Amino acid sequence: MVKSVAVTGLGCISALGHDVNQFWGALCNGETGIRPLTNMPLESLKIKACAQIQNYNSLHFFSNEELPYLDKFSQYAIITAREAIVDAGLEAAEIHNAACVVGTGCGGKETDEEAYQKLYKEGKTRAHPLTIPKGMPSAAAVQVSMHMGISGPVFSVASACASAAHATASALAMIRSGLVEVAIVVGTDAPFTYGLIKAWEGLRVLSPDTCRPFSKNRSGMVLGEGAGAVVLESLEHAKKRGAPIYAELAGCGMSADAGHITDPSSDGAARAIKAALDDASMNPGDVDYVNAHGTGTKANDVSETQALHQVFGGHAAQLMVSGTKSMHGHPLGAAGALELVATVLAIKNGIVPPTANFTEAGEGCDLDYVPNQAREKRIKSAVSNSFAFGGLNAVLAIRAMDGA
C-alpha cells in the first residue's frame, strides 16, 4: 500500500518578506514585491525591474565565522529549512534520520562571479580556496544538512525552473518507498549578479516593468530570488507524533517535451498534469485551484492555458487559476517551492491568491485567473505547475486532509 504523505512544516524568504507569515499576508493582499533593481550598475543594464529580498542582512541570520562558507543561495536555503523544521516541531532525532533534497536552477552564482571578477578583471592569479565548496550546486544541500543535523539521504536537483518541484517529487518517492519517514525539501536561488542578469537580458524574455501573467499587455517575466521549504512526512509518522498537518501531498507528475529548448509544449505540460492527477487518484473534476507556472511571457501563458484545457476539458472553466509570480517574481529554482507553500496555504486557509497586475485577458488566455483580488473559497484539491526551459515539466497535486 502506497503511504500517504503529509505537509507538516513551511518556510520561505522572498521579495514578499522574510518568513511565511509575511509571504502569505502579501499574497492575500495582492501586494507585489517587484521593484527597481538595486546594488547593480544600472547604466549598463536594459532591465531594471526585479523581485529582490528587501532589508536582508546576512548577519541577522549567520555569524561572521559561518558566512565565508555560505553563498547567498545557501543562506536562503538554511533560513527556510530552519523555519519549516521549527514549524513542524521536529525533534533532533527525527531530523537526524530525515532526507533533505534541495532544488536549485543556478547554484552559487554570486561565488562564481566573485571569482571570475578577481581572475579576469582584477588580474589575480589565484581563486579563493572556498570557491568550489561554496559555489557548487550541491552547496546548499550540504549546508542545510550540516546546519540542521540531517544525516539521511541528502542531494541536489537541478532542472532549471522545475528544480524545486522535481526535488519535492524525489522526496515524495523516498517517503512512499519507506526509505525515510521525514524529508525536508528546499528550492533556492540567488540570481542577482551582473553577469547572470546580462545573460537573461540576452534571452529577451524579461519584462521592463512588471509581471502580468495571462494579460493582453504582458511583457515577460521578472527575475526574483529567495527560497521556499516544506517538511514532508508519512501520514503515519505525522499522526504518531501529533504533528500539525497542512495538507496531503497527494501526487506528482513529470514529463519532458523532448522538443524546443525555450518554446514550451502544451502537450508536454498536459502529460505532466495528467500524470499528477493519476498519481493522486484524482479526477479532473476534483481540482478547484491551479497555481500556474504563469511567467507572463507570450509563449508560456498560452501553452499553459491550452494544457489546462486539454486535461480538464469542460471543467477548466470552473478552475481558479492564479499566477503568483506576479507578486514574488520568478526565483527560478525556488519558484516551485514558493508556489507549493502558497498552494498549501490556499488549501489550509480557504483563500485563493490573486494574479496581480492583471488588466485584460490576452488572446488564448480564457480561464478564471482570479484577477487582482484574493478570493475566499474552500479548496479540496489543487495542482501546482512548474515548467522549465528544455521542456522539463513537474506538477504537484495537493489535497485537503480531513481534520487537518
DSSP state string for 23-51: HHHHHHTT----EE--SS-GGG-S--EEB
State pTM to two decimals: 0.97
DSSP 356: T
401 pLDDT higher than 80: yes
Domain final position from 195, 210, 240: 240
Query: Does 392 lie in the same domain as 277?
Result: yes
Cell numbers standing for residue 242: 501529533
Domain final position from 240, 260, 286: 240
Domain final position from 240, 270, 291: 240
Cell numbers standing for residue 42: 544600472
Query: Does 282 lie in the same domain as 189?
Result: no
| Domain boundaries, position 363 | 252-399
Would residue 211 show up in a list of annotated catalytic residues for this protein? no
Give a yes or no: residue 218 inside a domain.
Answer: yes
Give a yes or no: residue 246 inside a domain.
Answer: no
Give a yes or no: residue 166 inside a domain.
Answer: yes
Give a yes or no: residue 247 inside a domain.
Answer: no
Would residue 96 show up in a list of annotated catalytic residues for this protein? no
Cα 85 to its chain centre, rounded Å, is 18
Query: Does 317 lie in the same domain as 180?
Result: no
C-alpha separations of 104 from 157, 158, 163, 226, 251 in Å: 6, 5, 6, 11, 21
Residues 106, 328, 330, 365: which is the catalytic one? 330
Comparison of pLDDT for 287 and 44, the residue scoring more: 287
What is the rounded distance in angstroms from the CA atom of residue 327 to the CA atom of residue 15? 8
Give a yes or no: residue 404 inside a domain.
Answer: no
Cell numbers standing for residue 360: 485584460
10 pLDDT higher than 70: yes
Give a yes or no: residue 104 inside a domain.
Answer: yes
Give a yes or no: residue 101 inside a domain.
Answer: yes
Query: Does 207 lie in the same domain as 71?
Result: yes
C-alpha separations of 232 from 10, 66, 143, 166 in Å: 10, 28, 19, 14
Residues 166, 293, 309, 328: which is the catalytic one? 293
Among 39-48, 191-200, 367-376, 387-396, the least confident range = 39-48
DSSP 119: I
DSSP state string for 205-252: -B-SS---TTBTT---B-BB-EEEEEEEEEHHHHHHTT----EEEEEE
What one-letter code names the amino acid at 27? L
Would residue 315 show up in a list of annotated catalytic residues for this protein? no
* Neighbouring C-alpha atoms within 13 Å toward the C-beta of 273: 32
pLDDT in tens, 287-331: 999 999 999 999 999 999 999 999 999 999 999 999 999 999 999
What is the rounded distance in angstroms from the CA atom of residue 158 to the CA atom of residue 356? 29
Residues 28, 161, 252, 365: which is the catalytic one? 161
Query: Does 275 lie in the same domain as 175?
Result: no
Query: Does 145 lie in the same domain as 171?
Result: yes
Cα 355 to its chain centre, rounded Å, is 16
Query: Does 272 lie in the same domain as 236?
Result: no
* pLDDT at residue 39, rounded to an integer: 87
Give a yes or no: residue 181 inside a domain.
Answer: yes
**CATH number of the domain encompassing residue 41:** 3.40.47.10
pLDDT in tens, 105-153: 999 999 999 999 999 999 999 999 999 999 999 999 999 999 999 999 9
What is the rounded distance in angstroms from the CA atom of residue 396 to the CA atom of residue 326? 20
Query: Does 147 lie in the same domain as 272?
Result: no
Query: Does 217 lie in the same domain as 263?
Result: no
- Vertex 186 angle, CA 328 and 25, to 5°: 35
Region of 226 (left: φ > 0; alpha: ψ -120 to 50; beta: rest) is left
**Contact between residue 217 and residue 135 where contact means Cβ atoms under 8 Å apart:** no
What is the rounded distance in angstroms from the CA atom of residue 371 to the CA atom of residue 131? 45
Query: Does 258 lie in the same domain as 124?
Result: no
Query: Does 210 lie in the same domain as 156?
Result: yes
pLDDT in tens, 67-115: 999 999 999 999 999 999 999 999 999 999 999 999 999 999 999 999 9
Residue 403 pLDDT class (50, 70, 90 cuts): low
**Contact between residue 145 and residue 151 where contact means Cβ atoms under 8 Å apart:** yes
Query: Does 331 lie in the same domain as 277?
Result: yes
pLDDT in tens, 327-382: 999 999 999 999 999 999 999 999 999 999 999 999 999 999 999 999 999 999 99
Domain count, the chain: 2
How confident is the prediction for the chain on average, in pLDDT? 97
